Chain A
Amino acid sequence: MTETKNQAPAPAFLETYIREQRKKKDILLMTHIVMGYPSFEASFEIVRQMVDAGVDLMELQIPFSEPMADGPVILKANQAALDSGATVEKCFEFAQKVSDCFDIPFLFMTYGNILYKYGMDAFAARMSEIGVKGAIVPDFPPEEANDYLSAMNKHDMSAVFIFSPETSDQRMKMIDTHATGFIYCLARKGVTGKDTQFSSDMGSYLARCRKSTRLPTAVGFGVKEKADIDFLVGKADIAVVGSQTIREVEQKGVDATGPFIRSLIE
């Protein structure tokens, strides 16, 4: 990592959008899907219902064969999507379609190899072309993100970075200098999809996160019901619901998406 580039990048579209939305709501809701799971048609319908129910922004995960940071639910969804023929190209086409059809910001979530293989600059250019606003890449810590950051900044894409309960104050400040859009704060250790205790301990951690960044904060990992989101009001700007929607769809079908999202918001 060159030490010259510690100027915070200019606020991108995403940050401005989040701040505007926050004027209207106490907390925003970001949801997550694995593109192509259980099929691209189903994915589209899930997105439609989520937007219709009032989701503020969405993570679209490009499936990867080695999703190291994901727990059993998302891991299996990644595998199933790949097994039924999801490719990076189809994911780009899907992302273009949803960002054309729906008026909320979409982000990519995926692992570094997908960008690396596509070519970092080409990937960011393509994102910009299809109207995706940013990306979350959990295996690109800032120290390994030089090429990624240049490409994302060049194309005005937000590069969302992650804080964890293990991250020191000093490191949070370092990460903040590279991040754009918002900071994704992991609610706890572990992988996606396991239960989380929303307790006072987390309150002080989230206060520490807030203090360490100039950006809005999102909290994810284990958020699955309204009570969790209510807990986060005043402590973060965005609540992230991931594995739980996949579970709902697996148990009750695609049409359970809208009612589930409404149960979180209303």
Chain B
Amino acid sequence: MKHRGYYGPFGGAFLPEILVATFEELNAQFRQAKEDKHFWEEYETLMATYSCRPTPLTYAENLTRHFGGAKIYIKREDLNHTGAHKANNVMGQGLLVKRMGKKRVIAETGAGQHGVATATMAAKFGFDCTIYMGEVDVLRQRPNVFWMEQLGATVVPVTDGTRILKDAINEAFRDWVTNMDTTHYVLGTACGPHPFPEMVSWFQSIIGKEARVQIMKAEGRLPSKVFACVGGGSNAMGLFQGFMDDPVELVGVEAGGKGIASGRHASRLCSEDASFGIAQGYKTYFLQNSDGQMKETHSISAGLDYVGVSPILANMRDQGKARFEYATDTEVVDALKLTMRMEGIIPALESCHAFAGAFKEVANMSTDDIIIINQSGRGDKDIFTVADAIGDPKWKEFICSKAGEYRND
């Protein structure tokens, strides 16, 4: 039987007929690239010269002392070009687009990091670029909208549905079914129809490969646990793949929002609220009602605010190969404050979920233990959200006076 991208009962390719031929072409290109050693070399060279790979593995000495448990290392995807792990996937798909000879790329974005990375890739490779972004996310990640537009992309605010990430994905698919001859859809996470989960995870595996080499060099032994936040699951898959065959516990941290009991969260794998479903071209755990209608999700971080989750991670959960926890909005902001003060590092709100999840466990571990936290991105984009959460009066004053200036223009 042809490989159709099933991971246990999850995955598949629930494609409208119009896209079947496009996916056949993409699949063929991807298979060729995956088997071609030179393709991965080309990819690594691009990431070393255009981006900042390998990204450092930082020993968080002060946080380690603060908690007094396991030694904490941070994998610094924030230092990747454009400030998040998203560039790993985007540059890889960009190379495939060149091979396919297409001239236009489209993408969905939640936090805006994937959108910025795609706009950057499009500028570098000379592609036209359109980014779909839920209206709610346009407002909460405004700095990234600004940069996407400056990079030459068209940003289309999506006003349908819940106006967040899943709705942006639907809209990108609607564009694709019209323009697939010229256009490639750069899906930003390890979700969607086959081969996207496998392909995005493959490009992101560079994180885990590097991290394993780096920790062996620094410590001469493996970590006991590694932590990553889980939106669609691409940065988690990236880190986890470095330790898949090792006695290392893989911990994914989902968005707990206002708390699981409130129902206002995006915890698909660690709450009882999700169930098997088929949407956006694949089968996984979705937050949906008993009719199969998708629910509204909530997270302080746009990038984790999503109803579905990688079919690969869903299967790993059911097989006990990874453990999933959640962190609430409040815990996330506390983790951010602590990390900034102690280490001089500003993680993205998405990444702060991994930090918060790790902080809950690290003090109870032995000082002989090591953990790695994946800092999937940097927090600059969150300046408005964080300023609101912290309630910084000086920032408010600045924004008001800036607004006054613009009004007088």
Contact = CB atoms under 8 A, between A and B. Distances in A.
A138 B17 contact: yes
A87 interface: yes
Contacts, number: 111
Contacts of A1: 1
B178 A190 contact: yes
B292 interface: yes
How many chain B residues sit at the interface, stated as a range, is 35 or more
Contacts of B275: 117
Contacts of A76: 160
A116 interface: yes
B178 A191 contact: yes
A4 B23 CA distance: 25
Interface stretch (A24-32, A50-58, A64-72, A236-244): A64-72
A76, A82, A114, A144, most chain B CB atoms within 10 A: A144
Contacts of B14: 112, 139-141, 144
Nearest to A88: B291
B15 A139 contact: yes
Interface stretch (B166-174, B225-233, B352-360): B166-174
9 contacts: A65-B293, A88-B292, A139-B16, A139-B281, A166-B19, A166-B20, A167-B21, A175-B17, A189-B180
Contact of A191 (B12, B15, B174, B276): B174
Interface in A141-170: 141, 143-144, 161-168
B290 interface: yes
Most buried by A among B1, B21, B279: B279
A87 B293 CA distance: 9
B281 A68 contact: yes
**Main secondary structure on chain A at its contact with chain B?**
loop
A76 B292 CA distance: 18
Contacts of B291: 87-88, 114, 117-118
A171 B20 CA distance: 10
B271 interface: no
Nearest to B180: A189
B113 interface: no
Query: Which of B21, B166, B174, B286 has the most chain A CB atoms closer than 10 A to its own CB?
Result: B174
B386 interface: no
Contacts of A69: 16, 18, 177
A189 B22 CA distance: 12
A56 to B, nearest CB: 24
A44 B166 CA distance: 32
A75 interface: yes
